[in-house]
Amino acid sequence: METRFHNDISIPVNGIRLRGELCVPIKASSIVVFSHGSGSSRMSPRNRQVALYLQKRNFGTLLFDLLTPEEDHNYHNRFAIDLLHERLVQATIWLQNFPVARDTAIGFFGASTGAASALKAVIDLPYIYALVSRGGRPDLAMHDLPMVNVPTLLIVGSEDEQVVQYNRMAYQVLNCEKKLEIVDGATHLFEEPGKMEIVSELAADWFNQHVPKASA
């Protein structure tokens, strides 16, 4: 896969720097920003698997740490949705001004608690085209969900029973274009053989439908 940019980056946010990895295929005209879940990072193997699949479909990807290593040592920060939401907003604004990413369309991919921060962030960033949640906790942003106005795909494993219920509740509250996909036989982390491949394909199809991108 040919890229016009693929490198580690450092994102300045409110006096600190967040580590990330930006990959922009040569044919990409859109970038998916990942908002990872509690206890995870830009090195999440599941998010990286989705990112690689998206890159092969000519989407750029930005994976970054929402917390510094020091902040992540405080367990409560992992569930500080307002903090994670603010970091995601600031990183996305930075991305828009980064030379290789200018004039690209942007989508969000959120996992676990990262999905809640992404759902809140799209309210502040009206230029986000679409959002995908994997095993998300939209219940942590329930009061904000009626204001979400971007096409939203909720992906949940059928064996992740409590999170399925959270997502069914969120689905009823969302007023935007929406879809709930329950992946049969998958648990919260989609660790079962073939399940992350299903997630990757569902996400890519959703972004392909809703986020402008260059043709292959």
Positive or negative CA dihedral for 46, 47, 53, 55? negative
In a domain, 26, yes or no: yes
Q: How far apart are CA 100 and CA 88, in angstroms?
A: 19
Work out the mean pLDDT of the chain and round it to a whole number.
91
pLDDT on residue 79: 67
Confirm whether 215 is domain-assigned. no
Quick check: is 30 in a domain? yes
What pLDDT sits at residue 44? 77
Non-local (6+) Cβ contacts of 25 within 8 A are 1, 2, 3, 4, 55, 58, 59, 60
Whether 78 maps to a domain, the answer reads yes
What is the rounded average pLDDT of the residues 33-39?
80
**Residue 216: per-residue pLDDT:** 40
Establish if 9 belongs to a structural domain: yes
Q: Does 146 fall in a domain?
A: yes
Q: How confident is the model at residue 215 (pLDDT cuts 50, 70, 90)?
A: very low
Domain containing 203 equals 3-210
Confidence of residue 76 (pLDDT cuts 50, 70, 90): low
- Is 216 within the bounds of a domain? no
Tell me the C-alpha distance between 56 and 70, whole Å.
Answer: 34
Please, which residues have CB within 8 angstroms of residue 6's CB and are 6 or more apart in sequence? 21, 22, 23, 24
DSSP 14: T
Report the SS3 class of residue 193: coil
Higher pLDDT, 38 or 118: 118
Both tokens of residue 51?
Answer: 């990112």
Number of domains in the chain: 1
| CA–CA dist 138, 146 (Å, integer) | 12
Q: Which pLDDT value is given to residue 114?
A: 92
Q: What would the mean pLDDT of 97-110 be, rounded to a whole number? A: 94
- 164-211 residue pLDDT tens: 999 999 999 999 999 999 999 999 989 999 999 999 999 999 999 999
Give a yes or no: residue 191 inside a domain. Answer: yes
Residue 90 to residue 142: CA distance in whole angstroms: 22
Nearest Cα neighbor of 136 from 106, 168, 91 is 168
Tell whether the model's pLDDT for residue 214 goes beyond 60: no
For residue 192, the 8-state DSSP code is: S
Tell me, what CATH number does 102's domain have?
3.40.50.1820
